[in-house]
């Protein structure tokens, strides 16, 4: 408080103090997330996928597809791909990607891996030079047209260099995320069949009731850790989860945030002292 007393009260000081008060809360939240994530990752070790999982996991298994998807250059079936495109001798370029949920399998155990906000590490599975004079497959042309950077390069008849990274079906991967069991429901219809017809044949009339949902059990999903880790991490090579731990400087925000808020409040209280005293 003696240090604050030596600082003159000015309009700029009041603005800065208000900024410290406002910034303290988000900085504390960032530090708290970093602290929780650091503790979680420090306690995890990679292991094969099992049946009974819950909470934070770091498991390994094989990729099985839930929907058909093919990599644009290699044409191999995959759960997702990233196409890095740039102009030859140019810094202009863009990235086209498509990541989808997949099923992780190991022996008789399986889990579904969410693609929402996922960070996937995939190896290079294809590389190709695309001259402007060369006709492109329809699918590849659509992908390049979906990004303004690559569309701009194609419009200027530039030769493109494309690098494909795909998570191929059957690949062994390591998955880091939050495991939870989610209920699965299916839509069911109750039908009533009435047989009508003539001597020439038989006609069936179908009358369906209102749709209803029935539970088919709970499936294991591995996804984001909500506000702690926004997306699941998928690695195609051996990965040490501890390498993803936030730095100690980021964890220090747990204390820095409240300290900044306290300093700002004390300064504002000192600035408001004469105003409050003048009312009495």
Instruction: Tell me the domain boundaries of the chain.
Output: 1-43+247-280, 44-237
pLDDT score for 201:
47
Residue 89 class from Cβ within 10 Å (0-12 exposed, 13-18 middle, 19+ buried)?
exposed
Provide the CA 266 distance to its chain's centre, in angstroms.
Answer: 40
Query: CA 53, CA 58: separation in Å to the nearest integer?
Result: 10
What are 244's two structure tokens?
């993803």
The pLDDT tens digits along the chain (280 residues) read 556 566 777 788 888 888 888 888 888 888 888 887 777 777 777 888 887 777 888 888 999 999 899 998 888 999 999 988 888 777 777 888 889 999 999 888 899 998 887 888 888 998 888 887 778 788 888 888 888 888 887 777 778 888 999 999 999 998 888 888 876 544 444 444 444 454 444 444 444 444 444 444 568 888 876 667 677 888 887 655 556 777 778 888 888 888 888 888 888 887 776 655 555 4
pLDDT score for 279:
52
Based on its alpha-carbon atoms, the radius of gyration of the chain, rounded to whole angstroms, reads 29
First-to-last alpha carbon distance for the chain, in angstroms, is: 24
pLDDT score for 254:
83
What are 95's two structure tokens?
């990235």
pLDDT score for 81:
92
> What is the phi-psi region of residue 23: left when phi exceeds 0, alpha when psi lies from -120 to 50, beta otherwise?
alpha
> Distance of CA 217 to CAs 47, 55, 115, 128, 182, Å?
26, 19, 22, 45, 8
Count Cα neighbours of 270 within 13 Å in the Cβ-side half-sphere.
Answer: 21
pLDDT score for 168:
92
CB-CB contact of 4 with 270 (8 Å): yes
């Amino acid at each position: 408080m003696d240090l604050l007393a030596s600082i003159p009260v000015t309009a700029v000081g009041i603005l800065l103090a208000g900024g410290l008060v406002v910034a303290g809360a988000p900085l504390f939240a960032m530090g708290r997330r970093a602290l929780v994530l650091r503790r979680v990752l420090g306690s995890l070790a990679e292991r094969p996928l099992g049946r009974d999982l819950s909470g934070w996991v770091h498991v390994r298994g094989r990729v099985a597809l839930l929907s058909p998807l093919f990599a644009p250059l290699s044409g191999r079936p995959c759960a997702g791909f990233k196409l890095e495109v740039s102009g030859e001798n140019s810094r202009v370029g863009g990235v086209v990607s498509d990541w989808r949920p997949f099923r992780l399998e190991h022996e008789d155990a399986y889990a579904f891996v969410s693609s929402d906000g996922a960070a996937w590490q995939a190896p290079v599975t294809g590389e190709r030079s695309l001259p402007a004079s060369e006709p492109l497959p329809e699918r590849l042309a659509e992908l390049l047209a979906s990004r303004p950077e690559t569309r701009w390069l194609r419009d200027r008849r530039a030769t493109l260099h494309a690098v494909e990274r795909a998570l191929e079906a059957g690949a062994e991967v390591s998955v880091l995320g939050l495991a939870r069991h989610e209920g699965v429901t299916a839509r069911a219809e109750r039908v009533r069949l009435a047989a009508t017809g003539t001597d020439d044949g038989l006609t069936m009339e179908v009358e369906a009731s209102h749709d209803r949902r029935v539970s088919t059990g709970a499936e294991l999903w591995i996804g984001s850790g909500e506000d702690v880790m926004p997306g699941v991490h998928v690695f195609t090579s051996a990965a040490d989860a501890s390498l993803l731990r936030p730095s100690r400087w980021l964890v220090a925000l747990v204390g820095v945030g409240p300290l900044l808020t306290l300093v700002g409040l004390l300064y504002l209280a000192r600035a408001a002292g004469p105003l409050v005293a003048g009312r009495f």
